[in-house]
């Protein structure tokens, strides 16, 4: 029994026991279902071993949706706990665990994979490529992310969740204050997923720079592709900092080093600096692709070309540069001098300027446009005023002296939700709806989608706007309870009602997927939105090779010009196409990474060493493997093309 005691949850509760049962039953149902329908072979051939960027993108999005509801459950519990004064629903320890996991799950395991999923599906199509530069590396990236996410999530029922906040500040995250293995999960699971993200950054930089269609120079790329290129440069520069910080954290917790202690030359502020040198660019890793999504959607449904293309590109480059020199605004209150606080206050305010430029670009695109109010367009239009409010409150927080009042209050919580939810969640929902027909060959219901939009948009404001008020009244963030005499109760109850409305809105998205999968017409065109960029120039569903003939580009909106001005996109003749083979090695290696991570969390060194050898064995196998891919013959391409044309 002593051996199994180490896996026990240190602070069990009925909710955790219920979660254990639910997870077990869900896993059993999945295994029984796959076995009953005899889908193990299909699952292995078509999904677990795939290197197709489109299928990998879909798996990223499915994982992100799963994590959205995992993080959403945490959010509902937090709002329920604070809905009334002196509530006993959760104790302080469980509340700490829930707000910690909520932040990590929503930022790293929901927003990031949703963005990367859309990036995987759309970017190669927008630049006229047949795949990414390194298809097998792309599969490794996904499976490392997925296994990192799964490792982090089992902490809730095996060993205990991290409880030091999503920022995991020291000394709270040290062995002295976080005695359970929760912070070990944090350090190692995020490390595994982060390696996958770093590989994605390298892969897509090479893809965009080296695999664009003939004629597509950098200043003719779609705005979404531009946002992805800049985002991946941020990833490549920022994620190594996180890698180093997590490695040092792991050594502090597992091997007794003292990088982040107050004794023996360590410094807890070293962690804060390293974390936010990564953490603030991370905000723009999820925001900039969202700006790209909105640019595509607003241009499409305003029926106008994007206003100020060059200024949009310049502003994104400026944002990415400034994102690396604002990190210290996260600890104005931690003892920096007036000079340091003043410099970071100026850089923080400066980043609002290029962001404001983009807002005006979108507004001028809408000016005199023939606006079509589809679901993606509604999310894009709602984003502008809500995000602007979030940005204005960000400028308030940028003032170092005022931040002493705002910093540890619910005002800050309201601010970053007013930035991240319209800035990222609205965007991925808009992009998800916009590119759904290209992914699956049918449309999501506009009627159900609009119901979902209104529930989410109204409920979002009901949930988070009251926090501005309670925060200015002094309600501290991260506090699990408060007394009735504070007067926070009514507004916190209103916030809880809004959270229930958000849950209904997201549930409607799930129902929309179910309803549309069963009943939506499959007889749609390749371009159901009358869009402007190259991903709509190929067939629906998209063939494995994307384009039978690589398109030739002569403008920023080559597909639109081909429809309206007769520009010829596809010249030349069909030739055989080289494609990569599927491989099971990325999935197998990621499973070994999972075992390695679990062993490291619980200091099971023999298993960790064996898993390490297994990881290097997978790498060696790839090094000596002679796999040069395969060719799709001209006859097979023409047969596929004729079949897809005949379906429309």
How is residue 314 written in tokens? 């310049």
Say how far apart CA 646 and CA 639 lie, in whole Å.
Answer: 11
Q: What pLDDT shows up at residue 14?
A: 83
Q: What pLDDT shows up at residue 404?
A: 86
Q: What pLDDT shows up at residue 646?
A: 58
Say how far apart CA 147 and CA 621 lie, in whole Å.
Answer: 21
Its pTM stands at 0.96
Integer CA distances (angstroms), 593 to 35, 57, 137, 142, 622, in order: 26, 21, 15, 13, 16
Q: Which of 161, 148, 51 is nearest to 593 (CA)?
A: 148
Which parts of 525-591 are beta strand (E)?
A: 577-579
Q: What pLDDT shows up at residue 341?
A: 86
Q: What pLDDT shows up at residue 320?
A: 93
Say how far apart CA 123 and CA 116 lie, in whole Å.
Answer: 10
How is residue 394 written in tokens? 């960000």
Q: What pLDDT shows up at residue 648?
A: 47
What does residue 281 show for φ and ψ, rounded to 5 degrees?
Answer: -55, -30
How is residue 508 written in tokens? 């409607």
User: Splitting the chain (648 residues) into consecutive groups of 10 residues, what average pLDDT does each group show?
Assistant: 72 82 88 92 94 96 94 94 92 91 95 96 95 96 97 91 92 90 95 96 97 93 96 96 95 93 86 93 94 96 93 94 90 84 90 92 92 96 95 90 89 94 96 95 95 97 96 92 93 96 96 95 91 92 92 89 86 90 96 97 95 96 90 93 72
How far, in whole angstroms, is CA 111 from its chain's centroid?
Answer: 2
Say how far apart CA 385 and CA 138 lie, in whole Å.
Answer: 36
**3 state SS of 577:** strand
Q: What pLDDT shows up at residue 223?
A: 95
Q: What pLDDT shows up at residue 2?
A: 60
HEC readout, 58-121: HHHHHHHHHHHHHHHHHHHHHHHHCCCCCCCCCCHHHHHHHHHHHHHHHHHHHHHHHHHHHHHH
Say how far apart CA 245 and CA 186 lie, in whole Å.
Answer: 12
Buried b / exposed e along 23-37 (16+ C-beta atoms within 10 A): eeeeeeeeeeeeeee
Say how far apart CA 593 and CA 192 lie, in whole Å.
Answer: 8
Place of tokens 């619980």: 602
**3 state SS of 629:** coil
Q: ω into residue 541 within 30 of 0, thus cis? A: yes
Q: ω into residue 171 within 30 of 0, thus cis? A: yes
Q: Is 265 left (phi over 0), alpha (psi -120 to 50) or beta?
A: left
Residues in CB range of 123: below 8 A, 6 or more apart: 204, 207, 208, 224, 225, 228
Q: What is the largest CA-CA distance in the chain?
A: 78
């Amino acid at each position: 029994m002593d051996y199994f005691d180490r896996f026990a949850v240190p602070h069990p509760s009925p909710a955790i026991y219920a979660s254990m049962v639910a997870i077990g039953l869900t896993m059993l149902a999945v295994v029984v279902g796959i076995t009953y329908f005899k889908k193990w072979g299909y699952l292995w051939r078509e999904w677990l071993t795939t290197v197709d960027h489109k299928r990998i993108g879909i798996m990223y999005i499915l994982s992100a949706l799963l994590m959205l509801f995992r993080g959403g459950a945490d959010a509902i519990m937090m709002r329920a706990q604070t809905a009334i004064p002196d509530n006993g629903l959760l104790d302080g320890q469980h509340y700490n665990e829930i707000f910690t996991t909520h932040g990590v799950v929503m930022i790293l395991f929901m927003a990031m994979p949703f963005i990367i999923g859309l990036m995987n599906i759309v970017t190669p199509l927008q630049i006229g490529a047949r795949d990414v530069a390194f298809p097998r590396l792309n599969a490794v990236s996904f499976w490392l992310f997925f296994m990192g996410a799964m490792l982090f999530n089992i902490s809730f029922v095996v060993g205990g969740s991290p409880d030091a906040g999503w920022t995991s500040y020291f000394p709270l995250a040290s062995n002295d204050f976080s005695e359970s293995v929760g912070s070990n999960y944090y350090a190692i699971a995020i490390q595994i997923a982060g390696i996958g993200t770093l590989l994605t950054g390298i892969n897509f930089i090479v893809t965009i720079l080296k695999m664009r269609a003939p004629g597509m120079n950098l200043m003719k790329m779609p705005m979404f592709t531009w946002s992805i290129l800049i985002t991946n440069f941020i990833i490549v520069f920022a994620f190594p900092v996180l890698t180093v910080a997590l490695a040092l954290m792991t050594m502090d917790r597992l091997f007794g080093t003292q990088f982040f202690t107050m004794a023996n030359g360590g410094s807890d502020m070293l962690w804060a600096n390293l974390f936010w040198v990564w953490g603030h660019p991370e905000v723009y890793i999820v925001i900039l692709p969202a700006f790209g999504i909105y640019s595509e959607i607003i241009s499409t449904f305003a029926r106008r070309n994007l206003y100020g293309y060059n200024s949009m590109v310049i502003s994104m480059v400026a944002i990415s540069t400034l994102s690396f020199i604002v990190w210290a605004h996260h600890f104005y209150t931690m003892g920096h001098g007036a000079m340091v606080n003043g410099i970071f206050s100026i850089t923080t305010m400066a980043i609002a300027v290029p962001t404001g430029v983009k807002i005006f670009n979108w507004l001028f695109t809408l000016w005199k446009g023939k606006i079509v109010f589809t679901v993606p367009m509604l999310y894009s239009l709602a984003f502008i005023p809500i995000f602007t409010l979030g940005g204005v409150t960000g400028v308030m927080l940028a003032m170092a002296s005022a931040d002493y009042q705002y910093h540890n209050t619910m005002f800050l919580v309201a601010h970053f939700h007013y930035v991240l939810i319209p800035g990222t969640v609205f965007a991925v929902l808009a992009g998800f709806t916009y590119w759904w027909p290209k992914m699956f060959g049918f449309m999501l219901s506009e009627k159900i989608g609009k119901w979902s939009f209104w529930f989410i948009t109204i409920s979002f404001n009901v949930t988070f706007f009251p926090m501005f008020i309670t925060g200015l009244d002094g309600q501290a963030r991260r506090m699990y309870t408060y007394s009735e005499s504070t007067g926070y109760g009514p507004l916190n109850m209103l916030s809880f009602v809004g959270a229930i409305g958000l849950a209904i809105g997201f549930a409607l998205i799930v129902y929309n997927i179910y309803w549309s999968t069963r009943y939506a017409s499959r007889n749609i065109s390749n371009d159901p939105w009358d869009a402007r960029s190259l991903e709509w120039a190929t067939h629906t569903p998209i063939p494995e090779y994307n384009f039978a003939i690589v398109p030739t580009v002569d403008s920023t909106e080559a597909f639109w010009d081909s429809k309206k001005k007769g520009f010829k996109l596809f010249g030349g003749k069909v030739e055989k196409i080289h494609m990569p083979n599927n491989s099971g090695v990325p999935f197998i290696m990621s499973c070994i990474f999972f075992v390695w991570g679990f062993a490291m969390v619980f200091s099971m060194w023999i298993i960790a060493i064996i898993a390490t050898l297994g990881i290097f064995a997978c790498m060696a196998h790839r090094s000596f493997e002679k796999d040069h891919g395969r060719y799709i013959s001209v006859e097979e391409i023409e047969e596929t093309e004729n079949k897809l044309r005949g379906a429309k």
